[in-house]
Amino acid sequence: MSFIEHIPGTRPVVTPARHPRAIGVGVLGLHEGRTMLAALATRCAHLYPAAGCDLSEDKIAASRREWPDLFYTSDYDAMLARAEVGVVAIYTPDAQHADHILRAFRAGKDVICTKPLVNSLDAAREVLRAGRAAGRRLIVAQSTRFFEPFRRQRDAFERGEIGAIELADAHYIHRMDWYYRKSPWAAAETDWIFLGLSHPLDLLRWHLGPIKRVSAMGSRSRMGGSFGVRGFDVYLVNVESASGALGRAMGHYGCHELPRARNCIELMLYGSEGTSLAQYHDMRYVHTTRPEPQPRRDGGFDPGALGEVVEDFLYAGRHFYFNSEVHGMHFGEFANCADAFGRALIEGGPCGPDLEEGVETFCLMEAARQSALTHQPVELEPLHDSVGLRRED
């Protein structure tokens, strides 16, 4: 379904009619998960909000005020026991994702798991084995993929307008002092290669295909150090794909932002047929157009030149993507992701990034982390073997 079908002009978001076989979702972790509840309640046809779970009574109370009819609990097992919950959406801190996925699979639920899917090799191995054995489906909610400019960029790539990608350049840059204050686990229990770099590294994997080798560098910003961040919070990652294409990803989580010059997430694709740039969150998509041969008076043709087009959806899309704020967070892309998954559950068909691709992207993040620590390039194949993924050519 296209963006225009979702958002007619600039009118406020209208909740779509619920599919007769729509599936109930229980959301675990009601901070960012509350945005998912809002997305499910107002923008999804194939899934609907059924339950919410958080250890914090305050978080439950805040969600209950907005959606009083849902089932709420601080006990995850109690939510898993609910028959109306067919899908669990996991929005707990990174290090807990594996345990929460395993318990959802054991309870016979399908899973939406926020990024990163997991943050350790042992966890990757376990969730992959459990998912295959349980036969349940999982989507990694890599939200950036589902933001309008990135969807358009992907569609153009799939139509062949960019050609074979020769170089992909991605970044996610965001000053995170507010995040450490809100979520101290970000400094102590994970690594920015998983927490932040999951966006640009997923974008590289998505467009370049399987990655063969990674070479990365990391450092710690002064601001990150002041919060006691455990790993690096500044990363540069170079990748080589199995087909020989190159990519790089950059992340800085202690910087002073300059969003007018550089949006916090961007993906630039340099292809054999064209070049394109997708931006979060100014909601712009900039791309070349194919040369149009120009007829000459003598009957011949001039070859024409590449054009440059800027598509700007900020005003048309702000209600859907930002909940009517100027630059809010995540409502639209969470809905696009969840609804695509719900539709795939009801109608069948693929929907990604799925569990196998999510584990592969985890391996890419882990390879970058190891490379930055050892100052050596890291091959992906041994990591794939160690978690039980199929071998890549």
Q: In the chain, which ranges are continuous DSSP H helix? A: 3-6, 32-43, 57-66, 76-80, 97-106, 121-134, 148-158, 177-182, 185-188, 192-195, 198-208, 222-226, 314-322, 331-347, 355-374, 381-387
Closer CB to ligand NAD, residue 51 or residue 165? 51
State the minimum distance, in angstroms, from the CB of residue 38 to ligand NAD: 13
State the minimum distance, in angstroms, from the CB of residue 9 to ligand NAD: 27
Residue 1 CB contacts under 8 Å (≥ 6 apart), including other chains: none
Which range of residues in 23-31, 239-247, 295-303, 365-373 is near ligand NAD by CB under 6 A?
Answer: 23-31
Residues, the chain, total? Answer: 393
DSSP collapsed to 3 states, 40-83: HHHHCCCEEEEEEECCCHHHHHHHHHHCCCCEEECCHHHHHCCC
Is 96 a binder of ligand NAD (CB under 6 A)?
A: yes
- The HSE-up count of residue 105 (CA atoms within 13 Å, CB side) is 22
State the minimum distance, in angstroms, from the CB of residue 54 to ligand NAD: 4
Residue appearing with tokens 């798991």? 113
Of the candidate residues 63, 114, 276, 288, the single one contacting ligand NAD (CB under 6 A): 114
Closer CB to ligand NAD, residue 48 or residue 146? 146
Question: DSSP character for 227?
Answer: T
> In what side-by-side order are the strands of the sheet with 47-53?
71-73, 47-53, 23-28, 87-90, 110-114, 138-141
Is 378 a binder of ligand NAD (CB under 6 A)?
A: no
Is 189 a binder of ligand NAD (CB under 6 A)?
A: no
Is 76 a binder of ligand NAD (CB under 6 A)?
A: yes
State the minimum distance, in angstroms, from the CB of residue 181 to ligand NAD: 10
Cα dihedral 248, 252, 255, 257, rounded to 10, equals: 60
Closer CB to ligand NAD, residue 154 or residue 330? 330
Number of chain positions touching ligand NAD (CB under 6 A): 24
Closer CB to ligand NAD, residue 74 or residue 272? 74
Which range of residues in 15-23, 47-55, 61-69, 165-173 is near ligand NAD by CB under 6 A?
Answer: 47-55
Closer CB to ligand NAD, residue 54 or residue 240? 54
State the minimum distance, in angstroms, from the CB of residue 331 to ligand NAD: 11
State the minimum distance, in angstroms, from the CB of residue 135 to ligand NAD: 25
State the minimum distance, in angstroms, from the CB of residue 93 to ligand NAD: 6
Is 31 a binder of ligand NAD (CB under 6 A)?
A: yes
Of the candidate residues 48, 91, 147, 362, the single one contacting ligand NAD (CB under 6 A): 91
Is 56 a binder of ligand NAD (CB under 6 A)?
A: yes
Q: Please spell the DSSP secondary structure of 239-306, one letter per residue.
A: EEETTS-EEEEEEESSSPP-TTTS-SEEEEEEESS-EEEEEETT-EEEEEE---PEEPTTS-EE----
Strand partners, 269: 168, 276
Phi, psi values for residue 305, rounded to 5°: -125, 160
Which range of residues in 12-20, 52-60, 222-230, 308-316 is near ligand NAD by CB under 6 A?
Answer: 52-60
Closer CB to ligand NAD, residue 330 or residue 384? 330
Is 54 a binder of ligand NAD (CB under 6 A)?
A: yes
Residue 178 CB contacts under 8 Å (≥ 6 apart), including other chains: none
Is 323 a binder of ligand NAD (CB under 6 A)?
A: no
Task: Count other Cβ atoms within 10 Å, centred on residue 61.
Answer: 12
The contact set with ligand NAD (CB under 6 A) reads 28-32, 53-56, 59, 76, 91-94, 96, 114-115, 141, 143, 182-183, 195, 330
